Amino acid sequence: MVERLGGDQELARELVSLFLGEYPNLMNNLRASIGSGNPDAVRRAAHAAKGCIANFIDGGPQTTAYRIEQLGTEGRLNEIAPLFSHLELEVATLVRDMTAFMAGASERGASCAS
């Protein structure tokens, strides 16, 4: 991700911080839209999640969110539950990696200040 930003560590930390604050809402909105049975709401929520994730990674959770978006567009909600479970696992991994990135960035900052 830092490479995507031209090596700008500060911008990467800001974007990761924003994502870490927002992803629970994205996932909750997607979960609620799936529960509502409204295909258009699923499509919109999956599209929002996909777009937010795409700032950080190609494939993985971005691809899964896109598949959920497509199923919402097609009204095939009965196929979404296992994909959503998989997305939750993928996002948890992404969040773990982001948290480690932020911790590493904090440690580097502290050691530079010493």
- CATH number of the domain at 35, please: 1.20.120.160
Angle at 101 between CA 106 and CA 50, to 5 degrees: 135
* Total domains in the fold of the chain: 1
Q: What is the pLDDT of residues 17-39, one digit of tens each?
A: 999 999 999 999 999 999 999 99
Q: Is the predicted pLDDT of residue 108 greater than 60, yes or no?
A: no
CA distance 47 to 53: 10
Q: Which domain holds residue 59?
A: 3-101
Asked if the structure places residue 108 within a domain, the reply is no
Give domain status of residue 106, yes or no.
Answer: no
Q: Quick check: is 73 in a domain? A: yes
Question: What's the pLDDT band for 58 if we cut at 50, 70, 90?
Answer: confident
Average pLDDT, the chain: 90
| Stretch 42-51: mean pLDDT | 97
49 located within any domain: yes
Question: Does residue 113 fall inside a structural domain?
Answer: no
Q: Which pTM does this prediction carry?
A: 0.86
- Quick one: what percent of the chain has pLDDT higher than 90? 76
Residue 56 included in any domain: yes
Query: Does 32 map to a domain?
Result: yes
Residue 111: inside a domain: no
- Say if residue 69's pLDDT is above 90: yes
